[in-house]
A and B are shown apart, each in its own frame.
Chain A
Amino acid sequence: MTEELIIAGFGGQGVLSMGKILCYSGIVQGQEVTWMPSYGPEMRGGTANVTVILSDERISSPIVGEFDTAIILNQQSMDKFEKTVKKGGTLIYDSNGITRHPERKDINIYLVDAAEEASKMDSAKTFNMIVLGGYLKIKPVVKMENVVAGIKKSLPERYHHLVPMNEKAIVRGAEIIKQIQKV
């Protein structure tokens, strides 16, 4: 198994930390992992993205031109990354703030309205975990118990009381994600 994934959105949406949790979960599961962020001043100005690769084998390039999955959380990222999804691959997005919905006909498209759900749950900080829950429903690349372990490993101990809330958000994400297009 090799999963090449890009997560893209605004800085502050938890894009990078979502990738980090996924990587830690992969490590717990015994996988090879790579987390490659875009870095530099543009992160402070707006968009942030991270390439995550999980694999049972040694990972070759940390930079990939095409992705198995793209998780897209703002319009700029839609414009930039919709075209990078492999033919037959998967695009997951949150429609909040999206003015142009995905147009490709050759990929599977899913909608996870995590921003809305996070505000319903009264916790903006669970946003990225709702997205993660949706993603893992569609692409169960790591087991749920390993994800919980991954969260614990990537959070400092003083935040471990937040783990149940994050777990709840992941479960919720899996419930609300819905398929819009199937190829």
Chain B
Amino acid sequence: MAEKITTNDIVKEENLVFRKTPLFIDKPLSYCPGCGHGVAHRLVLETIEEMGIQSETIGVAPVGCSVLAYEFMDIDMQQAAHGRAPALATAIKRLHPEKFVFTYQGDGDLAAIGTAETIHACNRGENITIIFINNGIYGMTGGQMAPTTLPGMKSSTSPYGRDIKTMGNPLKITELVAQLPGTYYVTRQAVHTPGAVRKAKKAIRMAFENQKLNKGVSFVEIVSNCNSGWKMEPVQANEWMVENMFPFFPLGDIKVPAEQK
């Protein structure tokens, strides 16, 4: 009979396969179980840790579910008025060109109320990173229709489904900003499977590394879920996302610098 293995035998440095980055402040996340924000936060923080730029990074939190992002990220952060994060980031980067500056915004924030700030920061080619979480709904406010709510999709302000004749079309802002000369790298990712997470991580890393090149905005959209707002179980929400969100918001790079292809 083999000897009994104790916990102490397993918890050893050489056996480590995963650890939470110390930049993730050790407190319970305010996000719903199954939400993509937690993973997206982790990827941003891991990137900052791996690049060794904690003391050189200034982040901007939005209004929305991630309004409290600064509660979980152990970096200096500012909280912006709804939609204005790119304006804050513009000034921070202009005044501190040596720092790494990023915004972390949702779809209501970035693609509705902050459309002007988003487009103009992108068009000016501010040397910043924008992380854009798109879950097709106003999560924090309570499940209202967002600029990215799909046609026919139900929300508390489109209870019979989004009627594009009266409510307008969902906005593919990522494709839109990719057209602007000021964006350097534009990509759309997801965090619903380990494979997707690995790709998203790579994209976020590149989006931060790009700031060293001073060539404009690096823009990473992450298509995510909102099981509470969508009124689904977490697993069901991910399935619904794959079936409905991905066809409308296809994953992959939209604009990749020629030298990095």
Question: Per the CB under 8 Å rule, do A and B touch in the complex?
Answer: no
